[in-house]
Amino acid sequence: MLVDALLMDPCTMLTSDLQFDLPSSLIAQSPSDQRDGSRLLVYNRQNDSVSHHHFHELPDLLPPKLAILRNDVSVLKARLPGNRPTGGAVECLLLRPADPPETTWRCLLKPGGKTARAGSFGLEGEYHAEVMESLPSGEYLVRFNLHKDKDAPSLAQRIGSLPLPPYVRRPTDSTDEERYQTVYARDDKRSAVAAPTAGLHFTDQILNQLQADGHQLHDLTLSVGLGTFRPIETEKVEDHPMHAEEYFLSPQTKAVLRDPSVKRLAIGTTCVRTIEHYLGTADPHPSEATRADARLFIRPPYSFLGVDHLLTNFHLPGSTLLCLVSAFLTPGSTDGLDRLKKLYQEAIDKQYRFFSYGDAMVIV
């Protein structure tokens, strides 16, 4: 009601404000023909200017001598096929291990109710899984007994499939095996169920050019979860329960983040969440690696601690990622959402492609 709206804190953001009209034809269903062939909108905050380019032009568009932070996580083939004891098909999506033990995982099951009532599912000769508990979040605790593999991720890599986002309305194909991973994704860091999509545009040639131009590349790891796709369902944005995602930082990357003389470009919102969470907490062991959970909800007004420039894709209506990008457009202010909507409308007018396999925007 109007009275309620007038009584709200001036910093309160309503979830309804995060909606915008997006033609379904602009939701990218497949990657661009070439990684660096995607389009790139450049927004300069200093002079409020917009220009339009292609991604292969990125090295010519950045300020000099940046520390570029990238997420080197790899996407797990987390969708496991299975069957209930009665023979009905089951799809199990591995989310993250329960601790302890690592044989027990938090999962999504489809169908969930029937599988939970059955109590178990599996695949002959591969694994048997027991549904231990139904969680309030809609997830399930599942304990795996594996016949051939050392752990559930090894099983998934062998017989599973990539979990494409729900708005990609087609089956996974061979193209996704390559293109739904960044070129710098590490095989020993297969812990994500969604790609850090801002990084999908990079090629080895662009990365080499950036280094040749005097930029430095630094890796961090954030295990992207399905919470990144979860819409905000509360009336007020601030009431949304933010999901947690595990991250890892090496001592070398932490030193770059702690250096006040360095200007930093974050490749994607996953890097932003990691950097800002780390810098917002005390670090009693700066010379050691850090492993922690980021549950930070970045929304206007927010003043950034360690990110000077941001490369990101175009995000879903009603999402926490819109909040983060809005905050970055006007740090410390609540004006960013209006600015973001204008930028998104220009992108729509110029037929940019949206979401995971879509085009990109860099904010300098």
Indicate the range of 101-110, 195-204, 322-331 predicted with least confidence.
101-110
Is 165 part of a structural domain of the chain?
A: no
Residue 126's domain is classified under what CATH number? Answer: 2.40.10.240
Is 154 part of a structural domain of the chain?
A: yes
For range 5-15, the mean pLDDT:
58
CB of 78 closer than 8 Å to CB of 160? yes
Do 199 and 299 share a domain, yes or no?
yes
Do 151 and 66 share a domain, yes or no?
no
Do 264 and 350 share a domain, yes or no?
yes
233: confidence class by pLDDT, cuts 50, 70, 90: confident
What's the predicted TM-score (pTM) here?
0.91
Of the residues 118, 133, 159, the one at which a domain ends: 159
Q: Does position 14 have pLDDT exceeding 90, yes or no?
A: yes
Angle, in degrees to the nearest 10, between helices 251-258 and 269-279:
80
Do 333 and 267 share a domain, yes or no?
yes
pLDDT by residue (tens digit) across 111-123? 999 999 999 999 9
CB of 334 closer than 8 Å to CB of 300? yes
pLDDT by residue (tens digit) across 141-196? 999 999 999 999 999 999 999 999 999 999 999 899 999 999 999 999 999 999 99
Do 57 and 183 share a domain, yes or no?
yes
Of the residues 159, 185, 215, the one at which a domain ends: 159
Do 66 and 105 share a domain, yes or no?
no
DSSP output for 96-130: EE-SS-TTEEEEEEESHHHHHHH-EEEETTTEEEE
Q: Does position 339 have pLDDT exceeding 60, yes or no?
A: yes
What total of structural domains would you count in the chain?
A: 2
Do 296 and 190 share a domain, yes or no?
yes
Q: 99-122 burial, b for 16+ CB within 10 Å, e for fewer? A: eeeeebbbbbbeebeebbebebbb
pLDDT by residue (tens digit) across 266-278? 999 999 999 999 9
Do 143 and 260 share a domain, yes or no?
no
Is 166 part of a structural domain of the chain?
A: no
According to the model, what pLDDT value does residue 299 have? 95
Q: Which domain holds residue 127?
A: 79-159
Residue 231's domain is classified under what CATH number? Answer: 3.40.1780.10
Q: Does position 2 have pLDDT exceeding 60, yes or no?
A: no
Is 170 part of a structural domain of the chain?
A: no
